[in-house]
Structure 1
Amino acid sequence: MNLSSLYKQLKKRLRQKRRWLSLGFFIVAAAVGLLSLYVARHSETTGFGEESARTVAAGLRAGEQPEARLSVEQRQLLERIREAGGKRDVYMRKSFVCGEEQQLLGRMGPDEVTSLQGEHPQWTAELGADGSVTFTERIDDLSPACKDNAYFGLDKNGNLSLFEGPPEQEKVIRTFFQLNMGYLESSLPHDTVDQLKDGIRIFDMAEYNSVLSTFSDFAVEETEKVMMPAS
């Protein structure tokens, strides 16, 4: 066999192999496509897939009973109210970082009290000796009254305290900690110390937190740690 005949036979075999390879690639691609289509349709019909899962979860939350979000203590209190029956006075108390406000919401039956608690699971409820119910909402802010007339200062025992009005009126709202006055007077400018003694007026939570942060370094317990010799 000469070189020309051998070359022709090799070309013929290569063409046959290419046809088979092309057919094989086509079969594999078709199989992958069919499998992808099956998976997509299966996800749609069975509810699988991230979007479907979110939809189902949202539907479950929407149908959730309000009382299911309450604590054991809250549910027990509501059960006592339902068992007792009748209408009772219901109060709303707003408990601020500084100050409180309270108002009468009205007289409510067991279903109304239960509904109100279910709508506001973050509120705590107390049953008074007279049968009244008081809901308390805790608010991370100063009450309007405190914003109008609250001062930080020193009580007669040297404690950092919050006052209604200037400290000289001695209307303490809240006491925080005792100050090491010797350490404080030797560390801070005289104007700052005098201002504390006269009363530091506060108007919002930023000033409230700033004063607490500044003077907490001079609390007796903290200064004792600073002055304690290293072992």
Structure 2
Amino acid sequence: MTTKNALVTGANKGIGLETVRRLAAMGFKVWLGARDAGRGETAAQTLRGEGLDVEWLELDVASDESVVAAAEAVAARAPGLDVLVNNAGIASGYVEALGPDGRYERPPSRENIADMKATYDVNVFGPVRVTQAFLPLLMASSAARIVMVSSYLGSLARASGNGQSPNAMGYGSSKTALNAVTLAFARELAPRGIMVNAAAPGYTATDLNAHRGGRTVQQAAEIIVRLATLAPGGPTGGYFDENGALPW
């Protein structure tokens, strides 16, 4: 039986690590993408200790050179890539803008443009870089799946209709842009049988929000894994949480 291959970016901790664990438990060989060698290899060793086929892959999604080298490394070891999860994401300046009660307190009029640029480089341009570099391997699969890890904050409908959502312009707009990237790749790749969808894992306790989120990584990974393992005939060009389609 041919082993299926998966890559998860930003996967040495949090939602990414749990996604790696879940996919590997389903029989995938999973490449655990991470920038830091120590953290990446430690995470991979932990999962190998659980009997899972996981290998650390040096990958900085904000670096063209790193992404190209990572694609070449996988191509030398695998005939194709069946699943790509673009999970790596940051919210530069987000934690610093949280008040004592955990609410986001930086209005758009005081948003730091340098923070926005850093956030976009990882959250928007990162998935584009990675998807483009790994596309030949994805096309070599008979039924590849691409998952863009988005956020509820990427929904313009929710932002305009729900005053309780934080007005986090930098991070939120980066996820709105990622949703547009999802649609663009889905339209291009649909004729090739590659499904591309965006997942909203919910407000999960991770380093990104100083662990103030109310959901576990196990809950968050559910929709990501579901979209990564869609059967033929499933949706593409969609935006989902575990309960179904979300408004753009």
Sort the TM-score into its range (normalised by shorter chain).
under 0.3
Give the strand-richer structure, 1 or 2: 1
Higher helix fraction: Structure 1 or Structure 2?
1
Q: Which has the bigger relative contact order, CA under 8 A and spacing at least 6?
A: 2
| Structure with the greater alpha carbon radius of gyration | 1
